[in-house]
Amino acid sequence: MKRLGSSPKLSRPSVAPRQHVAQEEPVEPLAATAPALAPVVSPAQAAPPPAGERNAVRALLQAHALDWDVAVQPIYRMRGAKPVPIDGYRELVRVDIHPDGSRTLGAEAIAVVSDSYPARPNREAFQILGPLLEQDLFKPVDAGAIQGGRLVWASGTVKRATLPREETPVRGDLCLVTSHDSRGSTRPLVELTVGNRGTFRLPIPGCASIHRSRSPGSPQDAAALHRRAIALFADATHVLGAAADVRLSRTRARRFLRESFGLGADPSGWTARSCERQADILSRFAGEPCDGICLRPTAAETAPERGGSALGLFLEIVDFVDHRMRAKGGDTGRAITARFGHGDDIKRESFRLLRQVITEPGT
């Protein structure tokens, strides 16, 4: 993002330091029913987190080059030859922290925010992971940033299970995604990785976002988040296991696909790429070529009603989005959209339909 009307004659103000108050789990069989969600624990942080928790979070961020600060700076516009600050808006800039304690202000802005934006570093955004890291309840798997630092995430395993009959391992990761932009919140999610088919993410009920102004991070907050993540993982694996027993005809599979990708029932509004996507997924789902099944859906009504399980179709959609869907930027672009963009929306909607299929078999 280019800085609005910045003047080469202006010197950037210095940024003073700010004060800021595994072994693999054994695979367990899937429970028959999912436990109820734990009650909400209201966030409170009466005292700074212990040094051990702070160090654990810092070590996690440093290992992935994410231990940096953010600063809010004025935005200038030129009035004649004189730079004048723009009222009501500021730019959010990354501040790199060096081993000797010195700090360097970034050359590019992360985002434009209001002048009341409560900027805070990644250490505070992910501080709620401190108690879980200290108790070995969160085993780090991945962390990173995209869009120049506007979106930062960290994920770690909290639970494992095995789907019945399929003997497919499922790993549940707790993922925190923090936004350094006008939203100013950290979203907790559960990522479920099903064998080698792919990964889909679900928002944790009751804590859709952790707003910066609340400054969560107490052991009570962490315990509540961990319980809710475990409960959501158990509920999701229950849905996946039950979907293995639901058979879908090709007609129902076509409707499932259309709704997953947000397509209308009238094929005249479909693009060629949409038809190719459906044909690819359906051919793998039915176990035979289905080149024309989406291009000429009316003719497909007379085809033999071969199909598979609802779980099989859902996993084909996840596999397609994660490994074969076209995206700008090649493999890197596909990985980003599958996790944070349109691909993530497709998988989430597909899981919603999967839950609907097992609760309302006639739909």
Same domain, 273 and 292: yes
Residue 363: what pLDDT?
A: 53
Residue 109 makes CB contacts below 8 A (sequence gap 6+) with 1, 2, 3, 73, 91, 92, 93
Q: Are residues 63 and 156 in the same domain?
A: yes
Confidence of residue 299 (pLDDT cuts 50, 70, 90): very low
Q: Which residue, 143, 177, 169, 173, is CA-closest to 156?
A: 173
| 238 in the same domain as 92 | yes
- Domain annotation covers residue 98: yes
- pLDDT, position 316: 92
State the Cα–Cα distance between residues 160 and 197, nearest whole angstrom.
16
**Same domain, yes or no, for 132 and 98?**
yes
Q: Residue 71's domain spans which residues?
A: 51-242
Give the N- to C-terminal CA distance of the chain in Å, as an integer: 47
CB 127 within 8 A of CB 26: no
Q: Is pLDDT of 284 > 90?
A: no
Q: What percent of the chain has pLDDT over 70?
A: 76
Establish if 31 belongs to a structural domain: no
In a domain, 85, yes or no: yes
Cα-atom radius of gyration of the chain, to the nearest Å?
Answer: 24
Q: How many domains does the chain have?
A: 2
Averaged confidence pLDDT in the chain: 79
In a domain, 322, yes or no: yes
In a shared domain, residues 171 and 83: yes
* Structure confidence at residue 126 (pLDDT): 92
- Does 44 map to a domain? no
Instruction: Tell whether 90 and 228 lie within a shared domain.
Output: yes
Same domain as 337, residue 262: yes
Residue 182 shares a structural domain with residue 262: no
Please indicate, yes or no, whether residues 230 and 315 belong to a single structural domain of this protein: no
> Does the pLDDT at position 11 exceed 60?
no
Which residue, 242, 272, 301, sits at the end of a domain?
Answer: 242
The confidence score (pLDDT) of residue 362 equals 60
Question: Given pLDDT bands bounded at 50, 70 and 90, which one contains residue 154?
Answer: very high
Last residue of one domain, picked from the residues 242, 265, 294: 242
Could you report the per-residue pLDDT of 232-252, keeping only the tens digit for each? 999 999 999 999 989 988 888
Rounded CA separation 131/133 (Å): 5
Task: For 198-237, write each residue's pLDDT tens digit.
Answer: 999 999 987 755 654 445 567 888 888 999 999 999 999 9
Q: Does 56 lie in the same domain as 110?
A: yes
The predicted pLDDT at position 138 comes to: 93
Q: What is the pLDDT of residues 78-97, one digit of tens each?
A: 888 899 989 999 999 999 88
Whether residues 238 and 250 share a domain: the answer is no
* The predicted structure's pLDDT at residue 290: 54
Task: Tell whether 87 and 222 lie within a shared domain.
Answer: yes
Q: Which tokens go with 344?
A: 């993530």
Cα–Cα distance, 341 to 38 (Å, whole number): 29
Q: Where are the beta strands (DSSP E) in the chain?
A: 69-79, 82-97, 103-114, 139-146, 151-163, 168-179, 185-194, 198-203, 210-211, 247-248, 308-309
